Chains A and B, each alone.
Chain A
């Protein structure tokens, strides 16, 4: 039994993982894990992999090989067995768990708005000359980039923000302020940078929960919260619960 497990573990792992990738691609959920620009390449390689996995069941070399390996000691075998079980559980997880985006736990851990997102930077001068439609098109990432550049209220007056994101509580005043947050991705979920717009909404936790997706419209005002570290916050005219968008990350 052991030698055949040793021999076929790779094919089984790679075949199962690839089947999971193909399904994710078919159901449009591959973007939960990687930037859309890698999707085509990933799918092409997945198809090639499946051809090899299928063909390898015919391989005689694979069947012959490994017999002449020296017998393995109990210690190394145990380590390799533990590793294999872990890898096996991971691949089963890929197959049975519902695909998920990163949550507020990671947003918290990575510190919202801690890094400058160079690709998403909005030019102050260009934005100030915009129209109502152009403001409505600005995302959470765009607004958070503007908020980092200026706290001047006059810049924001008359500009209505219209943003969608998930709820992450503001660490400095979790009762009254939450962030409408999104992850910004340049390569894959591993480099996701959380960005968020603070919203002043006392008692938000009564009607909404952390990680809920919401659509918020409103204008920026001086943050009424005395505890919050954020000088400005969105004064929401409307907060509605929405479904998680098909592409939860911003690029």
Chain B
């Protein structure tokens, strides 16, 4: 698991090219070099585990309480989201490397509005929360979905995914229409945002130049096996998502250690302020949509139901960790617009529920 030096890298590449040209597009072989790296990888993981085991014996933390809690909170966010991120990368691999070309496109309606509606319903069968949806949506754009269509999925899927629906039902049942408002509201917001961004004439301008270039690049790895392609996607997506996840989690931990919780809770009983407080809370805590219903459950008696709905709809789409991850794919301008639109729409949704319920 070390980093390679440039010379090693080159010799490694020339080696594998040799294989390509020497033997044509046959199945790849294990070169000796790769075998060495495999051993390095396995030994690296074993070494990390051994090291962790040794260091773990030392008890008592050298850090002051606040710093220690900041790290505990950040690690908690990372450990809680990592399985979902991996699940998202695996789904992205399935879409990009294993599904036959065009199979997703074939059955979708031609009308753009209906088409986006159908795409937003994909989420019902995808057990991925928001951070895992980013690699999946990137995969769909590479596969030929428009940016706005992919964005519709990105926004809807975390809210209507089966795990989210089950946990929200476990937490709230059908009380105060929270579950229904979350599902219907989330779908509506995703479709409205998808429609707004579909008005942009040059869809690729919504993407970061680097990712747009990746999408334009013709699929030049046809000679590659599906397994090789899958591993390539794993390496690429993890190098995009992981640094963003870590930094997002670190910022989320820092804000939570710094901002007293009761500042938010005191705002709980006012219909308007409680909605804004919930949006700030959702932005700061950055937990995955699959588990956020349990997160907000203890606040249910303090806050009005509409504010809870706002939290449950806004949080899955926009939070500090999610913005860091989205920035790998979309431009800053798009993210600012997205935050404002989603913020306004989910606040509106919360107000409606507050006054109706």
Contact = CB atoms under 8 A, between A and B. Distances in A.
Interface string A127-138: 000000000000
Contacts of B78: 17, 90, 94
B166 interface: no
Interface in A18-66: 18-24, 27, 30, 32-35, 38, 41-42, 44-46, 48-50, 52-65
A23 to B, nearest CB: 4
A106 to B, nearest CB: 5
A83 B249 CA distance: 12
A115 interface: yes
Contacts of A227: none
A80 B229 CA distance: 26
A192 to B, nearest CB: 9
A58 B30 contact: yes
Given A91-B246, A186-B298, A187-B291, A9 B90 contact: no
B228 A114 contact: no
A85 B314 CA distance: 30
Interface string B57-70: 01111010110110
A109 B8 CA distance: 51
Interface size band for B: 35 or more
A59 B86 CA distance: 18
Contact of A115 (B229, B236, B242, B301): B301
A54 B65 contact: no
A109 B256 CA distance: 9
Contact of A60 (B16, B76, B82, B291): B16
B75 A114 contact: no
Contacts of A64: 13, 16, 221, 232
B24 interface: no
Interface in A80-102: 80, 83-84, 86-87, 90-91, 93-102
Majority secondary structure, A binding face = helix
A87 B73 CA distance: 15
A4 B252 CA distance: 29
A153 interface: no
A150 interface: no
Interface stretch (A116-124, A200-208, A218-226): A116-124
Given A100-B68, A190-B73, A21 B238 contact: no
Interface string B23-51: 00000101000100110111011001101
Given A17-B78, A87-B243, A100-B61, A23 B56 contact: yes
Given A90-B250, A187-B295, A19 B45 contact: yes
Contact of A191 (B228, B243, B285): B285
A217 interface: no
B131 to A, nearest CB: 13
Contacts of B82: 14, 17-18, 21, 42, 45-46, 49
B61 A186 contact: no
B341 to A, nearest CB: 26
B45 A54 contact: yes
Interface hub of A12, A44, A114, A187 (most chain B Cβ within 10 A): A187
B71 interface: yes
A246 interface: no
Given A18-B82, A58-B34, A90-B249, A188 B76 contact: yes
B38 A34 contact: no
Contact of B243 (A9, A21, A102): A9
Contacts of A95: 48, 51-52, 55
A19 B235 contact: no
Nearest to A62: B235
A212 interface: no
Contacts of B45: 15, 19, 50, 53-54
B209 to A, nearest CB: 8
Interface residues on A, range: 35 or more
B247 interface: yes
Nearest to A21: B79
B79 A33 contact: yes
A10 B134 CA distance: 15
Nearest to A69: B210
Given A61-B235, A70-B210, A98-B56, 7 more contacts: A8-B3, A11-B234, A18-B82, A60-B228, A61-B224, A105-B66, A115-B298
Interface of B: 1, 3-6, 9, 12-13, 16, 28, 30, 34, 37-38, 40-42, 44-45, 48-49, 51-53, 55-56, 58-61, 63, 65-66, 68-69, 71-80, 82-83, 86-87, 90, 171, 209-210, 213, 217, 221, 224, 228-229, 231-244, 246-247, 249-250, 252, 256-257, 260-262, 265, 285-287, 291-292, 294-295, 297-302
Interface of A: 1, 3-24, 27, 30, 32-35, 38, 41-42, 44-46, 48-50, 52-65, 68-70, 80, 83-84, 86-87, 90-91, 93-106, 109-111, 114-119, 184, 186-191, 193, 211
Shortest 5 CB-CB contacts between residues of A and residues of B: A61-B232, A10-B239, A10-B238, A59-B231, A45-B83
14 contacts: A3-B9, A4-B4, A11-B1, A16-B48, A17-B82, A19-B49, A20-B48, A23-B56, A46-B83, A69-B210, A94-B78, A115-B302, A190-B252, A190-B256
